[in-house]
């Protein structure tokens, strides 16, 4: 058992907890006198404007809920550990890694995925700019790059500082250095970075 | 991932009660560290208490003129807060030097304080690791320890605290407010992160079972120039090899703490006092009891040069 638990749970206690969790579905680590909470959760999400209710194993990440349960496979699974950014979606307008969060934690939240930004016939400006500037090669990281970029420009507009912002009390500018730093959580294995930067810069210029 | 039951209380008190009722429970905030470890089955909670809807998302001014930061304030919100940017710049600088935009949007103040080490053997469940499994040994002692701690370690564990935020919290003399089964108390940041004992188990935080972090308070601003310098293997998105958080006054006095070199943010009052004498004097104090490995002895001169750069910057 991990000794790095934040709290002192004895080995025996944890073994009992997980043994009963394995044996008595639905009872988990609960003591007998309390009402057992559910092992499976019902989650209500608004995804790309559409309300959905899902019955999910508590372990289901938001990413797996989107891909495997709602069949929105535009959002990609890369590392599944929050390192690569391929799974980036927007929740209540903010970009997050959908692999490092549980779907059950998002009851009532609004999720926007690449499918919700635009369609092939009516693309979002960022999608159009990625096509125009060839901001990809294999395309696997692209949905995450685009969702990240859209939310990132909102963060600059909201005045959020970054590691390269020179003056913390001034409004950040959408400079090349700022965009690169703020997009560092989206890895592109084909290294299409110069074209990704060109696409984002164009959209930013049009917004300004 | 092992299966678990889940609940979402609506107040701090209800969260603590939930912890007392359940066995093998853990709080979950942003989840960016805990879920990562649960996927690897390094963490195997039987019950998760989601604290995202218990409130504690505000940054308020205290009567003393400082700030009280709710435990669920995200790293993005904290770094972007106007008062923090103006009066506690070292904290904003440290936070934005860590992780990525996506992660900082989820990471919380409480979760960041409790983030786990990044020692590679802690993550490799085939290897001995006292921090993961007390008494199994420490694979890092004879292994790759380039990123690990050089001071404050024992043969039980030589892992570093990887947080950027924590280093700034240390230099700002933050206090961690907690609520537990036995009531509320406040823990000074210097006593919050623990050094390993000579023998395992490795206890890393001063929290008692069931204690929930409710807030972090900052004393009134002390002025001065706020600097956070992070030395890492890439220009962005990498953990610190060495980092320096400093608040420097015009007369040459100030405060300094190091990250990436110890199991906790590393600060010594005598090192603060040595600041007017320059980087060597400061590093000599901070590393007086250093016990680096062959792999990470380079951190000692590197840290001294990073301190020198910070002092030079402050004079510009
Ligand atoms: C790819 C990657 C890169 C990263 N890079 C950096 C970096 O460069 N610098 C850096 O500093 N960090 C970095 N991080 C770490 C990141 O900062 C942490 O994961 C984050 O701060 C944890 O916060 P959280 O709210 O998500 O915590 P959680 O994962 O929710 O929780 C972490 C721990 O704290 C406990 N906990 C949470 N809230 C409370 C509370 N209120 N009371 C009691 N216990 C609580 C949980 O039980 C758990 O044990 C990185 C993470 C990833 C995945
Ligand atoms: S340094 Fe600590 S975390 Fe790393 S292997 Fe040794 S005991 Fe485990």
Residue A28 lies in a domain: no
A54: left (phi over 0), alpha (psi -120 to 50) or beta: beta
Nearest CA to ligand 2 atom 6: B138
How would residue B316 be classed by pLDDT, with cut points 50, 70 and 90?
Answer: confident
Q: What is the pLDDT of residues B32-84, one digit of tens each?
A: 999 999 999 999 999 999 999 999 999 999 999 999 999 999 999 999 999 99
Q: How far is the CA of B112 from the centre of ligand 1 (A)?
A: 4
**pLDDT value at B30 more than 60:** yes
At residue A14, the pLDDT reads 35
Show which of A116, A151, A177 is a domain's final residue. Answer: A116
Q: How far is the CA of A208 from the centre of ligand 1 (A)?
A: 35
Domain tally, chain A? 2
Please provide the average confidence, as pLDDT, over all residues in chain A: 86
Cis peptide before B201 (omega within 30 of 0): yes
> pLDDT tens-digit profile of A38-87?
567 899 999 999 999 999 999 999 999 999 999 999 999 999 999 999 99
Q: ipTM of this predicted complex?
A: 0.96
pLDDT at A32 over 70: no
Q: B171 pLDDT band (50/70/90 cuts)?
A: very high
Nearest C-alpha to atom 8 of ligand 2 is from which residue? B129
Residue A30 lies in a domain: no
Q: Over chain B, what HEC string results?
A: CCCCEEECCCCHHHHHHHHHHECCEEEECCCCCHHHHHHCCCCCCCEEEECCCCCCCCEEECCCCCEEEECCCEHHHHHHCHHHHHHCHHHHHHHHCCCCHHHHHHCEHHHHHCCCCCCHHHHCCCCCECCCCCCCCEHHHHCCCCCCCCCCCECCECCCCCCCHHHHHHHCCCEEEEEECCEEEEEEHHHHECCCCCCCCCCCECCCCCCEEEEEEECCCCCCEEEEEEECCCCCCCCCCEEEEEEECCCCCEEEEEECCCCCCECCHHHHHCHHHCHHHHHHHHCCCCCCCCCCCCHHHHHHHHHHHHHHHHHC
Ligand nearest to the CA of B47: 1
For residue A58, the distance in angstroms to the closest alpha carbon of chain B comes to: 7
Nearest CA to ligand 1 atom 40: B213
Domain ranges of chain B: 5-53, 225-315
CATH topology of domain B225-315: Enolase-like; domain 1 (3.30.390)
| Residue B272, Ramachandran bin (φ over 0: left; ψ between -120 and 50: alpha; else beta) | alpha
Query: Nearest CA to CA, how far is B43 from chain A (Å)?
Result: 6
Q: Is the CB of B36 under 6 A from ligand 1?
A: yes
Token pair, residue B261, equals 């070199």
C-alpha torsion sign, points B89, B239, A2, A34: positive
- CATH number of residue A188's parent domain: 1.10.150.120
The CATH T-level fold of domain B5-53 is 3.30.43
Q: What CA–CA distances, in Å, run from A3 to B16, B113, B133, B189, B202?
A: 21, 18, 5, 22, 7
A12 lies in some domain: no
Q: Give me the mean pLDDT over the A155-170 stretch.
A: 97
Task: Tell which of A60, A88, A116 closes a domain.
Answer: A116
For ligand 1, say whether the CB of B99 is within 6 Å of any of its atoms: yes
Q: Is the pLDDT of residue B208 over 60?
A: yes
Residue A77: give the domain boundaries. Answer: 40-116
In a domain, A50, yes or no: yes
Residue A65, domain member (yes or no): yes
Whether A134 and A201 share a structural domain = yes
Q: Is residue A18 part of a domain?
A: no
What is the reported pLDDT for A207? 80
Q: Which of B184, B55, B174 is nearest to B108 (CA)?
A: B55
């Amino acid at each position: 058992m991990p000794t790095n638990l934040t709290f002192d749970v004895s080995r025996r206690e944890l073994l009992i907890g997980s043994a009963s969790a394995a044996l008595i579905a639905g009872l988990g680590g609960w003591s007998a006198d309390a009402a057992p909470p559910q092992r499976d959760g019902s989650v209500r999400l608004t995804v790309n404007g559409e309300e959905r209710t899902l019955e999910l194993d508590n372990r289901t990440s938001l990413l797996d809920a989107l891909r495997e349960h709602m069949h929105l496979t535009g959002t990609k699974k890369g590392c599944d550990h929050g390192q690569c950014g391929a799974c980036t979606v927007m929740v209540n307008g903010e970009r997050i890694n959908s692999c490092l969060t549980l779907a059950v934690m998002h009851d009532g939240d609004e999720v926007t995925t690449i499918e919700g930004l635009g369609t092939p016939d009516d693309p979002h400006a960022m999608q159009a700019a990625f096509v125009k500037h060839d901001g990809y090669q294999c395309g696997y990281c692209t949905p995450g790059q685009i969702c990240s970029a859209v939310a990132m420009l909102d963060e600059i507009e909201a005045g959020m500082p970054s590691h390269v912002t020179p003056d913390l009390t001034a409004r950040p500018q959408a400079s090349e250095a700022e965009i690169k730093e703020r997009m560092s959580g989206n890895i592109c294995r084909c290294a299409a970075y110069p074209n990704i930067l060109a696409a984002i810069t164009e959209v930013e210029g049009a917004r300004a | 991932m092992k299966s678990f039951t889940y609940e979402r209380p609506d107040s701090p008190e209800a969260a603590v009660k939930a912890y007392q009722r359940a066995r093998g429970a853990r709080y979950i905030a942003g989840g960016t560290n805990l879920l990562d470890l649960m996927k690897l089955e390094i963490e195997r909670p039987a019950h998760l208490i989601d604290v995202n809807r218990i409130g504690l998302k505000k940054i308020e001014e205290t009567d003393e003129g400082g700030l009280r930061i709710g435990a669920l304030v995200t790293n993005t919100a904290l770094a972007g807060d106007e008062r923090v940017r103006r009066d506690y710049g070292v904290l904003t600088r440290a936070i934005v030097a860590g992780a990525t935009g996506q992660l900082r949007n989820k990471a919380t103040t409480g979760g960041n304080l409790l983030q786990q080490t990044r020692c590679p053997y802690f993550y490799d469940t085939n290897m001995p690791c006292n921090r993961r499994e007390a008494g199994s040994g420490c694979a890092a002692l004879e292994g790759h320890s380039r990123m690990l701690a050089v001071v404050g370690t024992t043969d039980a564990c030589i892992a570093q605290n990887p947080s950027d935020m924590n280093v700034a919290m240390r230099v700002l003399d933050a206090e961690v407010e907690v609520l537990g089964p036995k009531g509320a108390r406040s823990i000074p940041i210097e006593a919050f992160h623990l050094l390993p004992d000579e023998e395992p188990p490795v206890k890393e935080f001063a929290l008692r079972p069931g204690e929930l972090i409710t807030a972090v308070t900052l004393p009134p601003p002390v002025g001065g120039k706020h600097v956070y310098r992070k030395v890492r293997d890439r220009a962005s998105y990498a953990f610190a090899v060495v980092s320096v958080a400093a608040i420097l006054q015009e007369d040459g006095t100030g405060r300094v703490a190091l990250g990436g070199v110890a199991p906790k943010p590393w600060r010594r009052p005598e090192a603060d006092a040595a600041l007017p004498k320059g980087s060597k004097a400061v590093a000599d104090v901070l590393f007086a009891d250093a016990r680096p490995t062959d792999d990470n002895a380079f951190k000692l001169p590197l840290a001294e040069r990073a301190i020198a750069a910070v002092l030079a910057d402050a004079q510009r």
